[in-house]
Amino acid sequence: MRPFSASALAPSFDAPAAEVAPARNRVRFLAIGILAVLMLLTGRAVQLAFSGDPIARQQRAAQHVIRADLVDRNGVLLATTVRAYALTAAPANVRDPEATANALIALLPRLNREDTMRRLTDASRRSIFLTRGLTPEERAAVEALNLRGIGFETQDKRVYPNGTLAAHALGFTDVDLNPLAGAERGLDEAIREASQAGHPLALSLDIRMQYALETELEASARAMGATGAAAILLDGRSGETLALASWPAFDPNEAGRSGEAARRDRVSGDVHELGSTIKPFTVAMALEAQMTSGAEVFDFSQPFAIDGNVIRDHEPAVHGLAGLREIMTHSSNIGAARLALRLGADRQRDYLGRLGLLAPSPLQTGRNQAPLAPAPRSRRDVAGVGFGYGLATTPAALAGAYTIFANNGALVAPTLLHSESGEAPERIPVFSAPVTRQVLSYMRAAVVSGTGRAADVPGLAIAGKTGTAEKLGEDAEYDDSRNFSSFAGVFPAQDPRYVIVVSLDDVGAGEAGGVAAAPVVARTLRRIAPMLGMNVTRD
């Protein structure tokens, strides 16, 4: 049915025929005819634009520029566009729907008989899709049947040859090649420009490291009973993302068949409170602001009360007098809270902003969740942020902040693009080099003799911090039976270059970052160290 009636929109005339000159009649009839044709064309254009008509969809798809291939930093193909065909039918021209359906299903078993029959007998449609994604060979086989009313539409298809591998980093497109997620969306303009220039777009990913990180993350998530997991590996000096993993996984070739939970990118799309992974920054802030020094001794013998709330340390080894190193190695909430209060809300928030923790990560994944970072309203809020509560952000943003330890205190933005020129990225100073090195030594101690021991690899020095944040329950109270466990670190500690963040969501009570996330780091580093060409030395 056409959306408009040409006769209804055309003007009417009541002049007697005998009183109208023949020439005028011809002009008038010609005008009416032209107007009617214009109305018909306009109506059909509107109908096509908003219908599922294959011809309309094909015309819209033809307006898109063919997308460039995506390759990893070593030239391995990650995404490409292939020529494919959609099988169509004009129901009015199909003489024998049942015989036609039988012949097609014999060649294309993926066709559903009931659905195919319904489509072939749908007299209300001029043209209709039967299936998509036919290969040239399948098209030739169908053509050989010489079935009346059966046709084809050229429909390019985006293909991801590695299946689920790097799915969240790559993202996917719709059937018309419109980008919907991941690098496909976040780097859409660059992909189109590369296509016009006639070359593939090189991503920063290394598919070998991607495979190692994904498999280790999945194994741990399944073993720990996690509902989700995320991990990211950066070259901290260039900001290039070498691997980005989110679990559960999905196949971008069949994204529509995957559930929302599987398609969700937990690296840049999920925010969580940071737990103790923020403590290196709290210590660095206090040192940079000259609110403390490495020689100061703190009293951890008693819980710390603030605004009616009691802050305790979970690590039984923390008691009595200790310094900044012990705040890190034993993950002292009391020590971090005291340092945060010395800083005050304004100075603390200024540093958090400079670390990129108060804004969405710039990583080009198509969807970067903004942090939950309410302005502190009390001393309790300031203290809470100091040891990891009251600020929720993404693993991507946390990894970006940790790049300061690979750049003598300067921040580098993470990216999914590979720079073949090796041009130095912008570096934004946050902390001084001496303060950064001092905190780095505490982070190394946290791995050697503290909560991060499970992340250590003999012969490979990693410096980092575990984190465990209790999750909020439905009653808006923290639930100690549900934890978000993480580890964030840099390596090699003596000359940091790489950043790694691993997090597991909704692990059970007592499953801290040192138990749940740190082992993923160790197993991954054992596998990727040779790929990085690192000279592994013992401390």
pLDDT at 124 exceeding the cut of 60: yes
> Could you read off the pLDDT of 153-195 as tens digits, one per residue?
988 899 999 999 999 999 999 988 999 999 999 999 999 999 9
Cα 297 from Cα 476, distance rounded (Å) = 36
3-state helix, strand, coil in the chain (%, to 5): 40, 20, 40
**137 is written with which tokens?**
């060979």
Question: Mean pLDDT of all residues in the chain?
Answer: 86
**pLDDT at residue 96 in the model:** 94
The pLDDT of residue 204 is above 60:
yes
pLDDT in tens, 2-32: 332 333 323 333 333 333 333 333 333 443 4
| Residue 14 pLDDT | 35
Decide if pLDDT at 473 tops 80: no
pLDDT at site 27:
34
Helix-helix angle 379-386:345-354, to 10 degrees: 40
pLDDT band at 65 (very low <50, low <70, confident <90, very high): low
pLDDT at residue number 237: 97
Q: What's the confidence (pLDDT) of residue 317?
A: 54
Return the pLDDT at 121.
Answer: 94
pLDDT one-digit tens code per residue, 342-372: 999 999 999 999 999 999 999 999 999 999 9
pLDDT at site 534: 82
For 415-460, the pLDDT digits (tens) are 999 998 878 899 999 999 999 999 999 999 999 998 899 999 988 8
> pTM score, two decimals?
0.82
Residue positions annotated with a catalytic role:
276
210-532, CATH topology level: Beta-lactamase (3.40.710)
- Conformational region of residue 476, where left means phi above 0, alpha means psi within -120 to 50, and beta covers everything else: left
Q: With a cut of 60, say whether residue 50 has pLDDT above it.
A: no
pLDDT tens digits along 279-305: 999 999 999 999 999 999 988 877 888
Q: What is the pLDDT of residue 507?
A: 79
Q: What is the mean pLDDT of residues 226-245?
A: 97
Residue 37's pLDDT band, with cuts at 50, 70 and 90, is very low
Note the pLDDT of residue 536: 59
Q: Give 222's pLDDT tier (boundaries 50, 70, 90).
A: very high
Q: What is the Cα–Cα distance from 162 to 315, expressed in whole angstroms?
A: 44
Q: In what order do the strands lie in the sheet with 85-89?
A: 128-134, 85-89, 150-154
The band of 399, judged by pLDDT with boundaries at 50, 70 and 90, is very high
- Please compute the mean of the pLDDT values over residues 371-378 and round it to a whole number: 90
- Beta-bridge partner residues of 309: 306
Domain boundaries, the chain: 70-202, 210-532
pLDDT of the residue at 257:
86
pLDDT tops 50 at residue 495 = yes
Q: What are phi and psi of 2, to 5 degrees?
A: -80, 145
**pLDDT for the residue numbered 4:** 27
What is the model's pLDDT at position 510?
A: 52
pLDDT in the model for residue 21: 37
Residue-level pLDDT at 483: 83
Q: Quick check: do 70-202 and 210-532 share a fold? A: no
User: For residue range 304-348, what is the model confidence (pLDDT) as tens digits?
Assistant: 888 888 888 876 555 678 899 999 998 999 999 999 999 999 999
Is CATH 3.90.1310.10 the right assignment for the domain spanning 70-202?
yes
Rg (CA), the chain: 31
Task: Dig out the tokens for 192 from the structure.
Answer: 């189109």
Residue 479 and residue 489 in contact, taking contact as beta carbons nearer than 8 Å = no
Q: CA–CA separation, 406 vs 388, rounded Å?
A: 22
